[in-house]
Structure 1
Amino acid sequence: MGLLLAPIALPAPLAAGEAPLIAVDVGHTLAAPGAISARGRTEFEFNRDLAGRVVAALERLGLRAELINADGLIESLQARPEQAAGAVFLISIHHDSVGEQHLTPWEWQGIPLDFSDLWAGHSLFVSRRNPDPAGSLMCASAIGARLQRAGFVPTDKNARRREYADAQHATHYYDNLVVLYRAQQPAVLFEAGVLKHRDEELLLRDAERQQRMAEEIATGVAACVTAGGLAAAGRTD
């Protein structure tokens, strides 16, 4: 059963000195850039664009935000949660792909590539091995709720392999994901959409849409860490 949430109001900006720190991780690296979109752009580039907007949106709400792996040179998956050690919440930004068996070859601007228009939409992941799985799920559900209220549509693609933690808000368990279970605070991995879907890729490239998505993510995070008590805890003991 999905986690039931009260309606989420936009939190008031916090006073100076009270703002909790949120870590925003840019998924993948320059050397291992993740998925390649239907038109040949790397997932890392998409992740960096959206993560930067999330940081700015969090700061406009009065929170502090730290961008992890902005240069794409992070050495290991373990280094991501280590860099986020001082934060009360960690969100890792990614974009989704599909298995090779679902890909269709095509050519775009003379370049041989592939696509799949089977699935589109966002999804979220949490780990039961995280030191605060309940807090992780609370934040994931808050983010998912904000996105859906704003008209962003989730995908059911990942239900084929990952058990739902909150089906209503497209949140799945991914227990052995390093960035989630090695985190020292509640943590969520967010997949913003499916890069291999030709129409969704164009939406994911759109700066205005990125901004709207980032604002909803930030509002969900802010509601979680302020109303949810994560900021008051600021610890994992």
Structure 2
Amino acid sequence: MTALALLRRLAATAACALACVPSWARPPIVAVDVGHTLAAAGATSARGRTEFAFNRDLAHEVAAALIARGIAAHLVNDDGRIAALRDRPKAVPDADFFISIHHDSVSQRLLKPWVWQGRALDYNDDYAGHSLFVSHDNPKPDASLLCASAIGARLQRLGFVPTDKNARRHAWADRADTVHWYDNLVVLHRTALPAVLFEAGVIKNRDEELRLRDPASQRRMADGIATGIAACLQVMGAPPPVP
């Protein structure tokens, strides 16, 4: 059975479990959004892979890690066809938390040309690392920041190194855990849920691109994200995970 098939089976099992228990006994629900779409696939990596493909791979791992913790995870935009950003949070209206998975790039003026497997592409090896974003305009900014900080702290404990490159344009919300304010992001403020946007790393960096594409590294990062979310939900008072 493929990893995707296993994830879908686990998700179906979780959905069945939700339908078979009273609402007060349901586990917490997390909406895991795959950033960008098939038509607007985001940045292109140093080796020519779309950001959407990176986002979907990591989102699957995050959902699987959450489900393994007894948390009901629902993938949003898995088929890459939800074009309207305001519709992303609406896809799981009963969720307790929303996280949008992305991968970072650099400004066009900082890119350098190179040829890989006969393709003319570009790269920048000067920047690497993850970062997180929350919005003052989210209806629950304190809860959003709590979750973002929990995720960032856990990732650093696992050895993932954050970046400060986004601080030039976005003020710090929590510098120690690499969380920034980004108020006008639609997926963060057009929702009733605590919401976080996660940038997993810089796919224009040739070394980091390979790490971000490595399944073992993806699973380890997903484990950190899921652990941070679980801790945050517990503090927020969300329903306890299903044992």
State the TM-score, normalized to the length of structure 2: 0.87
Offset at residue 84 of structure 1 (A): 2.9
Gaps of 5+ in 2: 1-17
Q: Does 1:166 align with 2:182?
A: no
**Contact in 2 for aligned 1:163/1:172 (Cα 8 Å):** yes
Q: What is the one-letter code of the residue matched to 1:129?
A: D
| Partner of residue 5, structure 1 | none
One of 137, 142, 154 as aligned partner of 2:150: 142
Q: What are the within-5 Å matches in structure 2 for residues 175-186 of structure 1?
A: 175-186=183-194
Deviation per CA, 1:192-216: give whole Å up to 9, x if none: 0000001000000100000000011
Aligned to 1:195: 203
Does 2:67 match 1:67? no
User: Aligned with 2:90: secondary structure?
Assistant: helix
Query: For residues 143-163 of structure 1, what are the alpha-carbon distances to aligned partners after superposition, in whole Å with 9 as ceiling and x for unaligned?
Result: 000000000000001001000
Q: Which amino acid aligns with 2:212?
A: L
Equivalent residue number for residue 118 of structure 1: 126
Structure 1 stretch displaced more, 171-180 or 15-24: 15-24
Q: 1:225 aligns with which of 208, 211, 233?
A: 233
Paired with 2:152 and 2:88, the residues of 1 have a C-alpha distance of 23
Deviations along 1:3-35, one digit per CA (max 9) or x if unpaired, are: xxxxxxxxxxxx974311100000000000000
How far did 1:137 drift? 0.1
Per-residue CA distance 1:102-126 (angstroms, 9 max, x = gap)? 1001100000000001110000000
Separation in structure 1 between the aligned mates of residue 36 and residue 120 of structure 2, nearest angstrom: 23
User: What are the equivalent positions in structure 2 for 1:1-237 lying under 5 Å apart?
Assistant: 17-231=25-239
What CA distance in whole angstroms lies between the structure 2 residues aligned with 1:77 and 1:231? 27
Q: Which amino acid aligns with 1:127?
A: S
Q: Give the TM-score taking structure 1 as reference length.
A: 0.90
State the one-letter code of the partner of 2:211.
Answer: L
Structure 1's unaligned 5+ residue stretches are 1-14, 233-237
Q: Report the count of equivalent residues.
A: 218
Tell me the C-alpha RMSD between the 2 structures: 1.3
**Identity within the alignment, %:** 62
